[in-house]
Amino acid sequence: MPRLFWKFFTIIWLTLATTVAVIIIIVKLLQAVPFAKELEEERRTLVLNLTENVLVQDGEDAAAHFVRMSEKTRPLGLTLSKVADANACTQEKTADTRSVLRDGVCYRISLSTPISFSLETLAPLMPWITILISATISAGALARYLIRPVVHLRDGLSALAHGRFDFRIGDKMAGRKDEVTALAHDFDSSAARLQELQDAQQRLFHDVSHELRSPLSRLQAAVGVLRQNPAKLDLMLDRMDREVERLDVLVGEILTLARLNAGASLPLKTQSLDVIELLNEILGDAAFEAQAREVSITSNVGGIFLAEVEGELIYRALENVIRNAVKYTAPHSSISVSCETTTDLLKIRVTDQGPGVGRDELERIFQPFSRGDDAVPEGGYGLGLAITRQAVERHGGRVAASLPAAGGLALTLEIPRRPAMFGPTSDRA
C-alpha cells in the first residue's frame, strides 16, 4: 500500500485508540474514587455533629474553643451564635446549620455556604471533551501535514503559469518520504524539462533566423550586383538558383524536424519494410556520389530485417547518417557500414575517417543547427542528425555517437522490429 495511506491510517488509528483508552480510564476513575462533593458533605456534617456534641456535653466555652481550633486547622466558616428567642429553637438540623437548646439558651451552629467546582459537574461531559480535544489535535496535524505541500505545489504551478520555469519545490519537502514528495520531484522534473524546451526553442529561433539570413543576404547581394551590372545576369541567376535551392533544403529540413516534434505523441503510420534492403539502396546512391571525392564505402550488410516502420522517417534517418559520413570523411578515405541483427533489433554502425568531434560534443551534435567545433564546414545546416535521432526514437530505438580509436566518428542506430505501440492509424502490410 502507498506510504501516505499508512501514515493516515496510523494517525487516525492512534487517535481513536487514545480517545477510547482515555474514556475508559476516566470512567474507571470516576467509578472507583468517591465524588469530591460527597466527601465534602460528609466532612461538613461531621464537623457540625462534633460541634453539637461538644456544646451539649461540655458547654458553651468548650464549643467556642472547638470552633476556633477548627477554623485554624481547616477553615469551613464554622460559627457558634445564640438565638435571642429561646422558644424559637426547634432543634432543627440541616446540611449547614444546627440549632441546640442547652440550659434554656438556644445556640445556632452554622457553616458558610461552600463555593466550589467539583469533578462531578464535569463527569458526564468528560468523554465528549476528550473526544473533542483529540479530534481537534489530530485534525490540525492532518490539515497541516496535507496543506503545506499543497501550498508549495500551488506556488510552483503559479510560477510555471507566469513563465518561471526555474522554480523548484523539492527542497521544501525535506523530511517527507511519501507520494507527495514524489509528486514534488515530478514537478521539479517537469519544470526542468519545460525550461530545457524553452531554452531549446529560443536557441532554435536564433539558429533558424541566422541560417535563413545567410542565403537571403547572398540573394540581396546578387540582386544588387544585377542592378549595377545587368551584363552579369546569367552568372547571378545561377547564383540565385543555388541560394534558393539552399533555402528550399533548409526550410524542408526545418519542417521535417517540426513535424517530428509536433507528432511525438501521435501514432506512427507504419508499414512492413525490409530495412536492410532500404539501407542498401541508400548505400548505392551514396557510393555513386562519393566517387567525386574518391571515397569508398565498405559495407557488411546482408540478410533481411522486416520491421513495422514509417518508411519515410526511417529513410530520412538512414540517408542523413550516410550522407553525413560521405560529407565529412577525409578525401581518398573509406566509410565502413556494418549491420547486426537479433530477433527484435537491427543495429547499424556507420564509421567515417573525418575530423570527428570533441568528446564533450558527442551529444550536442544531435541538437538542431549543431555542428562539431572541429568539423570542417562542408555545407549543411546541422539538422540531419537531429532529424535522425527524432525519427529513430519515434520508433522506440536509439542513436548514439562514439569516437573510434582510429579517429573519425562512429554513429550507431538501433531500430526495433516493431515500435513500442501501434496507434489507431497504423497500416500494417
Q: What is the pLDDT of residues 276-310, one digit of tens each?
A: 999 999 998 888 888 888 889 888 888 899 999 88
Q: How many domains is the chain partitioned into structurally?
A: 5
Same domain, 129 and 92: no
| Residue 191, all three cell numbers | 519544470
Q: In the chain, which stretches have pLDDT less than 50? A: 1, 375-378, 422-429
Q: What is the pLDDT of residue 204?
A: 67
Same domain, 50 and 29: no
Q: What is the pLDDT of residue 407?
A: 87
How far apart CA 401 and CA 407 sit, in angstroms, is 13
| Residue 371, all three cell numbers | 555542428
Q: What is the pLDDT of residue 4?
A: 57
Same domain, 410 and 325: yes
| Residue 422, all three cell numbers | 501501434
Amino acid code (one letter) for 332: H
Q: What is the pLDDT of residue 424?
A: 39
How far apart CA 415 and CA 345 sit, in angstroms, is 6
Q: What is the pLDDT of residue 259?
A: 72
Name the residue range of residue 313's domain.
Answer: 271-416
Same domain, 235 and 289: no
Q: Is residue 69 part of a domain?
A: yes
Integer angstrom CA distances of residue 342 from 242, 252, 420: 44, 34, 17
**The dihedral sign for the CA sequence 258, 209, 316, 414:** negative
Partnered with residue 274 across adjacent β-strands are 306
Q: Is residue 11 part of a domain?
A: yes
Q: What is the pTM of this model?
A: 0.51
How far apart CA 79 and CA 96 sit, in angstroms, is 11
- Measured from the Cβ of residue 65, the count of other Cβ atoms closer than 10 Å reads 12
Same domain, 360 and 282: yes
Helix axes 311-328, 384-394, angle to 10 degrees: 150
Q: What is the pLDDT of residue 336?
A: 92
- Measured from the Cβ of residue 352, the count of other Cβ atoms closer than 10 Å reads 28
Same domain, 214 and 204: no
How far apart CA 278 and CA 395 sit, in angstroms, is 16
Amino acid code (one letter) for 267: P
Same domain, 315 and 374: yes
**CATH code: domain of residue 375:** 3.30.565.10
Last residue of a domain, one of 193, 228, 262: 262
How far apart CA 317 and CA 297 sit, in angstroms, is 18
How far apart CA 290 and CA 281 sit, in angstroms, is 14
Same domain, 204 and 217: no
Q: Give yes or no for a contact between 363 and 196, defined as CB atoms under 8 angstroms apart.
A: no
Same domain, 200 and 215: no
Amino acid code (one letter) for 128: W
Same domain, 204 and 219: no
Q: What is the pLDDT of residue 66?
A: 83
First-residue to last-residue Cα distance in the chain: 45
Q: Is residue 428 part of a domain?
A: no
**Tens-place pLDDT, residues 189-224:** 888 888 877 776 777 676 667 667 777 887 888 888
